[in-house]
Structure 1
């Protein structure tokens, strides 16, 4: 079982990436982890999800956004966290379920797609894909955050 806290560095634990460090097009190293039935149950309880809403053809699936808690851990492999970041928005595409009754091996990867300044704020945009080891896409996310300098 891989909890996000097992793989996500803490703010302040190492020197943070600053806005000037972010390079458009930079690839994030792949991050492998396992979503277990315990992780699914824990996540569902934390977000107060009704698992009855996630049954597909009679089989129990995890809440569709269970992988989102791993998104920043993928980016942090390349760019360590900086205190004071503000999540601006996410665009999410769900492609294949994570099943609640089995271990799901996942590989997260991504890249920085844009960075810009607007009204005195510094923004970064990045994409993250979560796939099974065989390449089957589970979820894709486009994320935007604002960070202080």
Structure 2
């Protein structure tokens, strides 16, 4: 079982990446992890998910956003978190279910797509893809965060 806390650095554990450190086009190292049946059950209980809302062709699926708790861990391995970051938004595409009745090996990868300044804030944008080790796309995310000066 790979819990998000097993792979995600916390603010203050390492010196945080500064805006000047971010390099557009920089690839993030692959982050392999496993979404286990137990993680699916725990996630569903925490978000009060109703299992009947996640049945596909008679089979129980996990809420598709279960992998999003790993999203920032993919980026944080390259750029450790700095204090004061604000999540501005995400665009999420769900491509293939994660089944609730089996463990699913996942590989998270990504890259920094943009950075810019506006109205006193410094913005970063990055993409993360979650795939099976065989390359089947599960979830794709475009994320934007802002940081104070």
Measured against the shorter chain, the TM-score band is over 0.9
Aligned equivalents of 2:147, 2:45: Cα separation in 1: 30
Per-residue deviation, 1:147: 1.4
Is residue 2:54 matched to residue 1:46? no
**Counterpart position of 2:95:** 95
**Counterpart position of 1:146:** 146
Structure 1 runs (4+) deviating above 6 angstroms are none
Aligned-partner SS, 1:24: coil
**Counterpart position of 2:68:** 68
**1:12-91 to 2 correspondence within 5 Å?**
12-91=12-91
In structure 2, stretches of 5+ residues that fail to align are none
Aligned length: 149
Deviations 1:32-87 (A, max 9, x none): 00000000011011111101100000000000110100000000010001111100
Aligned equivalents of 1:14, 1:91: Cα separation in 2: 28
Aligned-partner SS, 2:64: coil
Aligned equivalents of 2:26, 2:143: Cα separation in 1: 15
Deviations 1:10-39 (A, max 9, x none): 100011100010000000000000000000
Per-residue deviation, 1:148: 2.5
Aligned-partner SS, 1:65: helix
**Counterpart position of 2:104:** 104
Calculate the TM-score normalised by the size of structure 1.
0.99
